[in-house]
Amino acid sequence: MPETETLAVVRLKPGQEDRLRAGHLWLFSNEVARVEGAAPPGCLAKVATAGGESLGLGFYHPHSLIALRMLAPGVEPVDAAFFRRRLEAALAYRTRVCPGETSYRLCFGESDALPGLVVDRYEDVLVLQVYSAGMELRLPAIGEALEALLSPRGIFLKNDHRLRQLEGLPGECRLLSGSVPERVQISEGGLRFWASVGAGQKTGHYFDQRENRAYLRPFFPGRTVLDLFCYTGAFAVNAAKFGAKAVLGIDSSAAAVALARENAALNGAGAAAEFDEADAEAVLASFAEGRQPFRPDMILLDPPSFVPSKKHLPKALRAYAKLNAAALKALPPGGLLATSTCSHHVGREDFVGMLRCAQAKARKPARLLALRGQACDHPILLAMPETEYLHFALLEVV
């Protein structure tokens, strides 16, 4: 019997339908009046207003704060053909907006109408991250659809994210199909990078900064660049290849620093770029104390998220401001600071406000040369502010 014939019905409390009608894809548990029928974690369910009007189909989870993730406005089978149609549309979009690229985020969950599913393409290898029980249960169909669409060498599940616990899903990294090497060489903007898909951070490479790396290229010539939080050197290698006089990359992860060195060598930039395993804040403090022989006139700051949840936002903004102030202090007049945050809890206004506060704190008035976001393979679903998470600014010390 097709799965859609015996669906449970999730009935909303009165007046709770507006956000879904506007295009948001999540229904929270406190907005549900009752569930009619058997509804185990990850099952398909119909959604209906208090008045009985149908709003469509979604994945339901009885124990998650996100009780339901919308999939479709009508009722349709959620099978390999369904996933193939959605992934085909996602691929067509990337082919259009990432010309010349063969590695990118192929599917950005909710923004590609596949809530809880991330697919990153590393040439002929696919790396998946699954955040919802509904998607987890349908991995065979998703795998089948991806095979039909791209015939990848292998599909790897990088399912170690803490958010999975919220849906009762185990943390695990394993092969879904085919074979996947420990690391994959990809191309980005004409440069080559090794990405460690099994042991690396995220799925191995930060595709979300691709356009910001390319944007900075005209600013690199003649600069002495300090790339703090450099990970595997994607920004640093761009700097060295596009005219920087000297580049120093800093990261606290020994594995990341080792790969950054290899990435510099891979692009023939080994002489211009050096990398050190160190704490970024300690490095900035050593500037304040005048202990640094390296004198940057351009600093790149791309720290991990400081905001584990909404309630940590004020504290996190103070920490970001402190870090940015320390970087601005280390720059001479005319110096450039390219700085980012990567938490959806930080809104664009919060980000700009934090930078205003940092330049005041550092007594380094600055011009805002650019305000940018995540690359276009991470599209923002306007109705879902949660899908916007990366802010990037270029500041110039006046």
Binding region for ligand SAH (CB under 6 A): 201, 206, 209, 229-232, 234-235, 250-253, 256, 279-281, 302-304
Cβ neighbours of residue 298 under 8 Å, at least 6 residues apart?
219, 220, 223, 224, 225, 226, 239, 244, 331, 335, 336, 337, 338
Q: Which is nearer to ligand SAH, 303 or 347 (CB)?
A: 303
Nearer to ligand SAH, 234 or 394 (CB): 234
Residues with a catalytic annotation lie at 342
User: In the complex, what is the shortest distance from the CB of residue 251 to ligand SAH, in angstroms, rounded to a whole number?
Assistant: 5
Q: 83 vs 219, which CB is nearer to ligand SAH?
A: 219
Residue 177 is encoded by which pair of tokens?
């199909």
Instruction: Give the H/E segment covering residue 369.
Output: strand 366-373
CB of residue 213 to ligand SAH, shortest distance in Å: 7
- Between 137 and 285, CB nearer to ligand SAH: 285
Backbone angles phi and psi of 128, in degrees to 5: -110, 145
| Helix, strand, or coil (residue 232) | coil
Residue type, 110: E
Contact between residue 280 and residue 229 where contact means Cβ atoms under 8 Å apart: yes
Identify which of residues 84 and 202 has a Cβ nearer to ligand SAH in the complex: 202
Provide the minimum distance between the beta carbon of 23 and ligand SAH in the complex, in angstroms, as a whole number. 30
- Bridge-based pairing of strands 191-196 and 224-228 is unpaired
Cβ 202 to ligand SAH, closest distance in Å? Answer: 8
Question: What is the CB neighbour count within 10 angstroms for residue 130?
Answer: 25
Backbone angles phi, psi at 148, to 5 degrees: -65, -35
CB of 205 to ligand SAH, least distance (A): 7
Residue 321, amino acid = A
Separation between Cα atoms, residue 293 and residue 235, nearest integer Å: 22
Q: Which two tokens stand for residue 258?
A: 């080792």
